[in-house]
């Protein structure tokens, strides 16, 4: 093993493993914010199967009628709780909370 590691000894390797083990929760936390908060395209239901996912907020669209384009993102926090239109500010608050707390 000393040929492949060179001057790096057991102490250095153990510290690298320790740092990596401590970094994994933080990396997962960052990935949650990046991939969990994606919005995707949406539409207010009732437009039929051929209606475009235009992402335009109408006068009022109940949460039950929101339809998201799930062709790329199958699910996200925004899609689960309908954080679009007048509820967009909640997505920002959740994002801020996730960035300012420990995983």
Q: Within 10 Å of residue 79's Cβ, how many Cβ atoms?
A: 20
**Model confidence pLDDT, tens digit, residues 13-25:** 899 999 999 998 8
pLDDT at 17: 92
Kindly list the distances between the CA atom of residue 74 and the CA atoms of 27, 28, 40, 52, 80, in Å, as whole numbers in the listed order: 22, 19, 10, 18, 10
The greatest distance separating any two alpha carbons of the chain, rounded to the nearest whole angstrom, comes to: 69
Whether the full predicted model's pTM is greater than 0.75, yes or no, is: no
pLDDT < 70: residue spans in the chain:
1-6, 46-51, 55, 58-59, 101-103
Listed by start position, the domains of the chain span 2-100
- Give percent above pLDDT 90 in the chain: 8
Q: Round the CA-based radius of gyration of the chain to a whole number and report it.
A: 22
């Amino acid at each position: 093993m000393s040929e492949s590691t060179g001057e790096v000894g057991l102490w250095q390797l153990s510290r690298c493993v320790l740092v990596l083990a401590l970094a994994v929760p933080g990396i997962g936390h960052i990935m949650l914010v990046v991939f969990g908060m994606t919005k995707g395209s949406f539409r207010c239901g009732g437009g039929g199967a051929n209606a475009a996912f235009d992402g335009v907020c109408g006068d009022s669209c109940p949460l039950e009628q929101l339809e998201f384009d799930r062709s790329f993102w199958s699910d996200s926090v925004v899609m689960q709780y309908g954080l679009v239109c007048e509820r967009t500010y909640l997505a920002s608050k959740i994002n801020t909370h996730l960035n300012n707390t420990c995983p």
